[in-house]
Copies of this chain bind each other. A is one copy, B any other.
Amino acid sequence: MRELKLIFVGFGTVAQGCARHLVNNGSFLKERRGFDYKVVAITDTVKGSVQNEQGVDLSKALSLMAKGKKLEDNELPGKKGLSSLETIKSSGGDAIIEATWTNLKDAQPGLSHITIALESGLDVATSNKGPIALFYRKLVDLAKSKGRQLRWESTVMSGTPVFNMYEFGLTGARINWVKGILNGTTNYILTEMAAGKSYDETLKRAQQLGYAEVEPSGDVEGYDPAAKITILANALMDADVRFADVTREGIIHISVDEIKKAERSSQRIKLIASAVKDQKGNVTASVEPTLVPDTDILAHVTGVMNALQISTDVQPDITIMGPGAGGDSAGYGLLNDILSISRMRGK
């Protein structure tokens, strides 16, 4: 059994979710999936960094984080103080798990992490929407030219399989369009508003529950689903859609009255992200509040759940539905990417 040497780059909620699965399911993964791993480094701009080619104790790292301590704590033996780029280059890893924050302006620092990793001959699994939404073609081409794998399952719909499902289960036909509910926060708000609560009240509650940020524009103005539909268009439809070109309208102008009015004609208002190929093969993408009839399964996707419909010309549409956020779920997406990386390397 080949052991995959992993480097965590960014060690926040999502990376720790992945780390927990690796620790908790370690023997299952070894015995039933033929997968073994060693963490050779962890680096995080806030929590510090540790590098140890004998293996970093992942359980101990998690328990240090739970106590609010740093990765450079004495309990975790290894070399300390390296920058993230030094860590990626000098740790002898096979793959990085890139889980730093999403930056939709210039994709940094994720973009540099992924670029350096691929250039150094490492495979990459990332949950970071920034680099994939803004530099898809460049990064995919770089990975190809280096003969390396780049995977981004958890950038869209978290741990619900979208890209691995597509790559291994749906590539036999062209995709004509995709559409879906790709942002859990706004779907939660719209669901609560349908139950009669006001926008302001619901947003506040979403912030208390941790579904929405204190500065909520990424969700309620539709930037987050715009990044996701950009990734879907480019990855599933071979398109060249730019994030900045996505038509985008959020939910901040939707009133409870409008939602109630829609309901009286058997419709729901949902924030729908879609990418559609025209006759000439051009793909355009948009995010906008949309009247969805009750006969469409998307009308019944409530709360923080996400859903995506995929249409080809060879069979009726399929729909995948599942969690769209959360550290455990996104961490599971990263883990499944790592397993795909391992399988495709090992073959």
Contact = CB atoms under 8 A, between A and B. Distances in A.
Interface string A163-176: 01101111111100
Contacts of A331: 314
A275 to B, nearest CB: 17
A28 B322 contact: no
Interface in A1-21: 21
B238 A32 contact: yes
A169 B174 contact: no
Interface in A261-310: 297, 300-301, 305
A98 interface: no
Nearest to A302: B295
A172 B316 contact: no
Given A323-B315, A329-B315, A165 B172 contact: no
Contacts of A75: none
A336 interface: yes
A218 interface: no
A79 to B, nearest CB: 29
Given A21-B314, A300-B297, A314-B159, A172 B319 contact: no
Contact of A161 (B170, B323, B339): B170
Contacts of A29: 172
Nearest to A165: B165
Given A297-B301, A319-B321, A347-B347, A339 B165 contact: no
23 contacts: A21-B172, A25-B172, A25-B173, A25-B174, A28-B174, A160-B318, A161-B165, A165-B169, A168-B168, A168-B343, A170-B336, A172-B332, A297-B300, A297-B321, A300-B300, A312-B332, A315-B323, A316-B326, A318-B322, A318-B323, A319-B320, A319-B321, A320-B320
Q: Which 8 A-B pairs have the closest CB atoms?
A: A161-B169, A347-B347, A318-B322, A164-B169, A168-B168, A315-B329, A172-B335, A165-B165
